[in-house]
Amino acid sequence: MDAIALWQRYQHWLYHHEALGLFVDISRMRFDDAFVDRLGPLWNRAIAEMKSLEAGAIANPDEHRMVGHYWLRAPELAPLPALGESIRQTIREIETFAQNIHTGVIRPATAPRFTDLLCVGIGGSALGPQFVSQCLAGSTPAMEIHFIDNTDPDGMDGVFDRLGDRLASTLIVITSKSGGTPETANGMKEVQHQCTARGLDFARQSVAVTGEGSALERLAAPWLARFPMYDWVGGRTSELSAVGLLPAALQGINIQELLMGARIMDEATRQPDLRHNPAGLLTLAWYFAGDGKGTKDMVILPYKDRLLLFSRYLQQLVMESLGKEKDLNGAIAHQGIAVYGNKGSTDQHAYVQQLRDGIPNFFATFIEVLKDSDRPHPELEPHVTTGDYLSGLLQGTRKALYDNGRDSITITIPEVTPHSVGALIALYERAVGFYASLVNINAYHQPGVEAGKKAANEILALQNQVLSRLRHQETAPSLDELTQQIDPQKIESIYLILRHLHGNGRVQITGNWSDPSGLRFSIPTDH
């Protein structure tokens, strides 16, 4: 395609939202008008299903739940007045609580005010708050934020080391819908242990974000505050609920602007005309790229350091929503789109070489930010700044990929603000919902995640069996002897459990790991 024809295509497939200052460009995806026409009936179904979802239909049939994250920024759309009022009330309570924390009305026992914020959660309870914090908290947040988002003791040690004596002035936010998520429950117990060891009252420093009637809500009755998680909001779409709004407000981020940016984007993505719906354009591009089967990966390349975590945030939103074995009819579908990325132009010195010249198993999404910085920067050469270089590298990479047969999408925002970040979150939430309709899957459950949790619990139960057997052995058994006592079919799991326990000094061995059958195991005398 010559330059004039490409320019005409660019103008035809460029979307611009005046109020948001946002552009969506899918002109570098090589679909034709015939493809768009074929997609028409599927798109009409997606629009109809989304309208039904927003009206309160059971859009998550496996869990028999409504799906209402769009109501979080438009409470008047909630199907029941009580739900809308609950949303409004929660936002008011978050803003009041944050103000009371900042002014010292609510303060720790041994300090004039809380200095730090420790968020304990996993998945959507961590990724969204982390992404928004890096985007918007700036260099002087109202509170310094820290995360425990994994059940990794070494990672927790690092958090506690960084906090040091400031743990006494740290507000602790525990986020779990049920209170039973193992990683979050483990993190909470570790924080409680640290508080007890330092003579601190954990309850007087803690807040819960959890479901009504949950075990965590009952446990948190004497804590500083509790905020709701709704069963109609999934973790990966919870950033604009109390899950994300509370940490954002505590850092001094304008949550009303976050919500307004999302609300405006929601209005734009209700447009039934595919060519004038920004989420519809993304959906079209995704469906075309992977032939409706996810055969190509989605590479996210934001050209702004503050958007570094956007690809991680989208990994969960896209992959947990769309990665499904079965469609809504129960037929095997094996759907999904793999997402990875880091940032530009860093990635031009990492994997862009393969993107341009290697296996064409992807499509790229460039995220462009027009404003370079709030501060003046020097000219590196006449009329060229570092920001100009960044822009040039984005445009150059986009062109180099297209010239070699690689497709891409470009999303442009004017600057990184609460308004634009809220809009980006809402844009991708809607695109995921539309795409799920096109391929006829349930985007709002996660049976694979639940299967992993169940398998982990089985391993922990097996570990207890192993330790119990070892404690009652007069002589150190071999791996084969121990396995015969428990279950011969679980020999590999038992071997891996023993290796982990030995690595932490809880089991001792005689023999060599390279000869598993010759190993013998026992409990150290100090255990």
Active site residues: 320, 349, 453
Residues 42-78, buried b or exposed e (16+ Cβ, 10 A)?
Answer: bbeebbebbeebbebeebbeeeebbbbbbbbbbbebb
Strand arrangement of the beta sheet that strand 170-176 belongs to: 144-148, 116-120, 170-176, 206-211, 225-229
Q: What is the DSSP string of 390-409?
A: HHHHHHHHHHHHHHTT--EE
Secondary structure, 3-state, 82-112: HHHHHHHHHHHHHHHHHHHHHHCCCCCCCCC
What is the rounded CA–CA span in Å between residue 58 and residue 67? 7
Residue 495 burial by Cβ neighbours in a 10 Å radius (0-12, 13-18, 19+)? middle
**What backbone torsions phi and psi does residue 296 show, to the nearest 5 degrees?**
-125, 145
Give the number of residues written for the chain: 527
DSSP state letter for 364: E
Token pair, residue 321, equals 């929503």
Q: Say if CB 519 and CB 495 are below 8 A apart.
A: no
Strand partners, 300: 341, 365
Q: Which two tokens stand for residue 74?
A: 């438009």
451 sits in which H/E element: helix 447-471
